[in-house]
Amino acid sequence: MITNIITWILQLIFVPIMAPLCVGITRKLKAKFQNRKGASIFQPYQDLQKLFGKDEIISKDASWIFRCAPYIVFTVTIVVGASIPLFASSINNTITSDLLVIVYTLAIGTFFLALAGIDTGSAFGGFGSSREMTMSALAEGGFIFSLLTMALISNSTNLFMISQNSLLLQGHFFLSTALAFCGFFIIVLAETARFPFDNPSTHLELTMIHEAMILEYSGKKLALMEWASANKLLIFIAIASNLFFPFGLAQDLSASAIILGIIVFTIKIGIFCLVIAILESSIAKFRFFRLPDLLIIAFILNVIAIILIY
């Protein structure tokens, strides 16, 4: 009972606690690639602390949508973070862990983020929203279908059930899993606003997507928005690592299994951060109208993956 409660609390706070670290590691690795020393990997925590202490300025054109959006966007990432397999696959969550619930709950966040971008009446925010909605609309097909491929292999649309499955990388399922992972990886980059879809480290560039929407935020609300986007990165890394590479997850709720699960998961996060950092250091951002090609490729890879399941 007590281990149960502790596991649940860990599951709930794991994503918000670890997410800034994940961003910090990626930045540090990118700095190394660029021959810079780079800030400490704990810098994102200090940034958040600084922002939480600052005064805010809110546009006089903004409505309650602008004021509420950071709370909703942040809450969405917490709810989703608690509903996906992180370090233990034995948690049995039949309430919010369905793949469609995850996809559409994340869509609530996108919806309010985009509305907040329009709300202040700035041209930057509006165009950021337009681009974000274009990307997320086209990413939806690949997103649902890559999770569906996994669901069909393991005969459940519940993400915890999928992560308990060990068939994924075996025999004739291997090819489907590999294709679905390729598709999903493209979606990860699109949804978390990384290269080649978006540049997470620029401001005021005409091509930016995510940063344009949160341009008018300051203080606590900006902190929440930044934190939420870090959470989203960790959520997608968690889905990618635990659904497609489901080893090392705690199969029961004993303390040793959970500690082992957390360690393995942290290593997986590190590997994914490294991959993203290598990718961001080696390729350029794509032109906006080239991006749909990538997203459609993600979708088609998954259609092939589904056909290959028999």
Applying the rule CB under 8 A, the residues between 75 and 94 that interact with another protein are 75, 78-79, 94
Residue 245 binds another protein (CB under 8 A): no
Per rule CB under 8 A, is residue 9 in the interface with another protein?
A: no
Q: Say how many residues touch another protein, by CB under 8 A.
A: 76
Q: In the stretch 287-306, what mask flags binding to another protein with x, by CB under 8 A?
A: -xx--x------x---x--x
For residue 238, give both structure tokens: 């968690």
Q: How far apart are CA 216 and CA 210, in angstroms?
A: 12
Does 131 help bind another protein (rule: CB under 8 A)? yes
Show contacts with another protein in window 178-207 (CB under 8 A).
none
User: Which C-beta is closer to another protein: that of 207 or that of 281?
Assistant: 207
Could you tell me the smallest distance in angstroms from the CB atom of residue 179 to another protein? 14
47 to 76, contacts with another protein by CB under 8 A? 52-61, 63-65, 71-72, 74-75
Instruction: Please name every residue paired with 98 in a beta bridge, in sequence order, or none if there are none.
Output: 158
How far, in Å, CA of 194 to CA of 198, rounded? 5
Question: What DSSP line would sit under 190-225, residue for residue?
Answer: HHTT-TTT--TT-SS-TT-SHHHHTTT--HHHHHHH
CA distance 234 to 214: 19
286 is a site residue for another protein (CB under 8 A)? no
38 part of the interface to another protein, by CB under 8 A: no
For residue 203, give the nearest of 187, 226, 228 by alpha carbon: 226
**Orientation angle between helical segments 173-191 and 219-244, nearest 10 degrees:** 170
Interface with another protein, residue 126, by CB under 8 A: yes
Give whichever of 133 and 275 is closer to another protein, judged by the CB atom.
133
Nearest to 183 by CA among 243, 229, 130: 243
Nearer to another protein, 195 or 227 (CB): 227
Nearer of residues 37 and 60 to another protein, judged by Cβ: 60
Q: How many CA atoms lie within 13 A of 306 on its CB side?
A: 16
Q: Is 245 helix (H, G, I), strand (E, B) or coil?
A: coil
Interface with another protein in residues 214-233 (CB under 8 A):
215-216, 219-220, 224
Q: How many CB atoms lie within 10 A of CB 304?
A: 15
**Whose Cβ is closer to another protein: residue 216's or residue 280's?**
216
Of 145-174, binders to another protein (CB under 8 A) are 145, 148, 151-152, 155-158, 161
The Cα 197–Cα 203 span in angstroms is: 15
Q: Interface with another protein includes 115 (CB under 8 A)?
A: yes
> Could you say which of 10, 41, 144, 188 contacts another protein (CB under 8 A)?
144
